[in-house]
Amino acid sequence: MSSANITKKNTLKTYITKDSSSICELMHPQQHASKNQSLAQASVPVNTETQLHYHAKTEELYHVLAGEGLMTLDSKQFSVEAGDTICIPPDTKHKIKNTGSTTLEFLCCCSPAYSHDDTFIIGE
């Protein structure tokens, strides 16, 4: 494990998470200096959405950097745009759909840190 207190996005790799979004881990305990949380930048292409899922332990914050989307939290749906921040409590079914004409970009902060093992896709 590295003890780096700073990361440079242009040196980090992206990957596809269990919910089908493209993620770049900006800070994660398995690779960086953080201990209790993770921060990632996610991208959802035009006319696509993440899979409906939930996390049993993790609380998430989404902060929209660019684009427009439709956020689903359990039975609620609402529009989101650049500058909006959404709190997603543990056990809340959620997904986000890109409804705009450009890539939907958002920061995702997870506490405890993101884990594939704590990500449950609805319908699996």
- Average pLDDT of the chain is 90
Segment 83-102 mean pLDDT: 97
pTM comes to: 0.86
- The pLDDT value given to residue 81: 98
Domain-located, residue 2 = no
Please, what's the largest Cα pairwise distance for the chain? 41
Domain-located, residue 56 = yes
Domain-located, residue 11 = no
Residue 74, domain extent: 17-121
> pLDDT digits over 4-55, tens only?
688 788 888 887 888 878 888 888 767 767 788 989 999 999 999 999 999 9
Q: Name the domain count of the chain.
A: 1
> pLDDT digits over 25-35, tens only?
888 767 767 78
Question: How do the residues of the chain divide into helix, strand and coil, expressed in percent and rounded to 5?
Answer: 5, 50, 45
Domain-located, residue 4 = no
How large a percentage of the chain has pLDDT more than 90? 65
pLDDT for 3 beyond 60? no
Domain-located, residue 92 = yes
- Please state, in angstroms and rounded to a whole number, the distance separating the CA atoms of residues 2 and 29: 9
Domain-located, residue 8 = no
Domain with residue 49: its CATH number is 2.60.120.10
Domain-located, residue 50 = yes
**Sheet arrangement for strand 119-121:** 76-81, 68-73, 94-98, 53-55, 119-121
- Please state, in angstroms and rounded to a whole number, the distance separating the CA atoms of residues 104 and 102: 6
- Please state, in angstroms and rounded to a whole number, the distance separating the CA atoms of residues 48 and 55: 21
Whether residue 108 contacts residue 114, with contact meaning beta carbons closer than 8 Å, is answered with: yes
